Chains A and B, each alone.
Chain A
């Protein structure tokens, strides 16, 4: 029998309710981009734009005056800048994971989530990339970190994890972008064909790259998508592993740990899913897409958060154990200091948000309650930010020589640069919601009951072209 059809015996139900038809999906999703934007959208967009302005001002001030406009100092030479970088990169993880990994594992439930997640990934990575760029003292020489031939006869230092970051993150961004766009092509075609005025026709037409849904198109599409999925799957693991090397390869107590790569990846997926569900819940309410983004989807995501959250919790405790077991007094002190020192409040906020709150999802009733999951997803986003803050600042502010110990105090510009990046993110995201199909229509259709005739079960990928074509015809 088909791999996708629900197994009633174990209580599986179809991903989308029976009354949802292909036409229904096209209407429901396209509607959003075709009608006037609801008030809710304008409110979100307005606020987001405002904060984008804050970002521009803060960054301008920073570049003009120097890094001293932030609270960074010696010993805390890195603080909110890198904290925000790692936080955004982490958020940018869910996208690829959902799209690529779940795609490869044929997890059909991803269909209504992935477009969303991918968009979020791209915007999050854009925000992330902002920080390594502006955190350098002489931004106008940033290009020296790239291997460009120059009159100095100098190469960048390939031993530096920061350089690895440059490559890892840029690769991840490129692949994610391609992956997203390729996935969008058939839906662009749908929009094009539904378009009434000529501007929409031309714009979506251009974006659709002349897609006609022919069998040949579908075959190429499938192959391209599969290859990209295969390409980006290792990236899911590599990017955050490389980011964790920034710390793991250093000699600082609390940073120099082999557990970092898996720990960071788990954390990234964790925060990524949290952000996805936050956004989904909002859009679901605003646009009434309950039938397509079903409770089933949300519940499945909550389960993943429960798992990754527990993984992160395990990592926290393991760090303490190793610190004690290593017998290294500096390592020990750092962790005692995290839990009891001047930044203990940050540490315990992190533990409460990341380890305790997801445990609620053990109970189905809480797991399926919108308010609860929304609250928890927000908490997780906060908690994960604090995780990075704790790792970076509490290690730096008290390392080897007590004579150099100090404290970090953020400035207005710090706050501006952080809240501003949220502004940037939501600006981009609301624009996405407004103009692009936020749900992969053709994929949802492929997941509709009966979309997979049982005699095609063996190779159901071939079933899809028909439906794709159908989507076009309906217009």
Chain B
């Protein structure tokens, strides 16, 4: 007497296929959707003041270091104090409603509460000055800031991404005087020179974790 239908004989085959397909799907799903590339890149929060890098760095061509003045001397790239903005905006657009928050800050002495865009985990100790000293340009990690009306995260900033460059930095190296240049392309001999640079970022734990 039969307990199970004959069709059940195909169960093993079906099961095998099902597991294969489902497993594959889940894996790729996690692989892509949960990766920093997908979750972190593109983060572009609303800022208290609509400050456009496109305008200042791009069209007006201001150098990054005019505002982020200490990047070559500190691990942290400072956000400019209100006073720096007022340097110009005390005369330029001094009544623009867009800059109300800025003027308040200047009056009250209370800081402007910018929203952090580029962030690495708390146990990662990234040092701007060292990377600049090594000849890594702003654009390598921050992308074409000069084209961003609202600043967005351009790179995943995760460990593998860091290591790729630490293992082979040459593609991201440039002459020290071109650090802040967003559009710089190496000339032929520059390219050969840079290719010869024997520079490696640290690949041991304490290089970044302390």
Decide: B160 and A151 in contact? CB cutoff 8 A.
yes
Q: Are B158 and A151 in contact (CB under 8 A)?
A: yes
Contact B160 A152 (CB under 8 A): yes
A147 CB to nearest chain B CB (Å): 15
CA distance A151 to B40 in the complex (A): 12
- Chain B nearest CB, measured from A201 CB (Å): 5
B66 at the A interface (CB under 8 A)? no
Q: Are B3 and A205 in contact (CB under 8 A)?
A: yes
Given A192-B3, A206-B4, A210-B9, list of 6 further CB < 8 A pairs?
A151-B35, A151-B158, A151-B160, A152-B159, A153-B160, A202-B3
Q: Which residues from 163 to 222 on chain A have a C-beta closer than 8 Å to any C-beta of chain B?
A: 192, 198, 201-202, 205-206, 210
**CB-nearest residue of chain A to B31:** A149
Give the nearest-CB partner of A151 in chain B: B158
- 23 A-B pairs, CB-CB below 8 angstroms? A151-B35, A151-B36, A151-B156, A151-B158, A151-B159, A151-B160, A152-B158, A152-B159, A152-B160, A153-B159, A153-B160, A153-B163, A154-B159, A192-B3, A198-B3, A201-B3, A202-B3, A202-B4, A205-B3, A205-B4, A206-B4, A210-B4, A210-B9
Whose C-beta in chain B lies nearest to the C-beta of A208?
Answer: B3
Which 7 pairs across A and B sit closest by C-beta, in order of nearness? Answer: A153-B160, A152-B159, A205-B3, A151-B158, A201-B3, A153-B163, A151-B160
Please measure, in the bound complex, the distance between the C-alpha atom of A201 and the C-alpha atom of B3, giving whole angstroms: 7
Interface flags, B6-21, vs A, CB<8A=1, else 0: 0001000000000000
Quick one: which of B3, B4, B9, B35 has the most chain A CB within 10 A? B3
- A192 nearest in chain B by CB position: B3
- Which residue of A is nearest B167, CB measured? A153
How many whole Å from B109's CB to the nearest CB in chain A? 42
Closest chain B residue, CB of each to CB of A202: B3
- Nearest residue (CB) in A for B2 is A205
Which A residues are within 8 Å of any B CB, using their own CB?
151-154, 192, 198, 201-202, 205-206, 210
Residue of A nearest to B8 (CB): A210
Q: Annotate B150-164 by CB proximity to A: 1 below 8 A, 0 otherwise.
A: 000000101110010
Determine the residue in chain A with the shortest Cβ distance to B35.
Answer: A151
Least CB distance, B156 to chain A, in whole angstroms: 8
Q: Which residue of A lies closest to B34 (CB)?
A: A151
Q: Which residues of A contact B3 (CB under 8 A)?
A: 192, 198, 201-202, 205
Separation of A198 and B1 alpha carbons in the complex (Å): 12
Set of chain A residues within 8 Å of B9, measured between Cβ atoms:
210
A-contact bits for B23-42, CB 8 A (1 contact / 0 none): 00000000000011000000
Quick one: closest A residue to B9, CB to CB?
A: A210
Determine the chain B residues whose CB is within 8 A of the CB of A201 once the complex forms.
3
Give the CA-CA distance A152 to B3 in the complex, in Å: 52
**Who on chain B is nearest to A206 by CB?**
B4
Contacts of B159 in A (CB 8 A): 151-154
Interface centre among A153, A154, A210 (most CB of B within 10 A): A153
Residues of B within 8 A of A151 (CB): 35-36, 156, 158-160
Interface residues of B in 128-168 (CB under 8 A from A): 156, 158-160, 163
Give, as a whole number of angstroms, the nearest-CB distance from A467 to chain B. Answer: 23
Greatest chain B CB density within 10 A among A151, A201, A202, A205 is at: A151
Bound CA span A153–B164, Å: 10
Closest CB-CB distance, B197 to chain A, in whole Å?
23
Give the distance to chain B from A65, nearest Cβ to Cβ, in Å: 23
Residues of B within 8 A of A154 (CB): 159
Chain B residues with Cβ under 8 A from A152's Cβ? 158-160
Q: Which residues of B contact A210 (CB under 8 A)?
A: 4, 9
A201 to B159, CA, bound (A): 55
B residues near A153, Cβ cutoff 8 Å = 159-160, 163
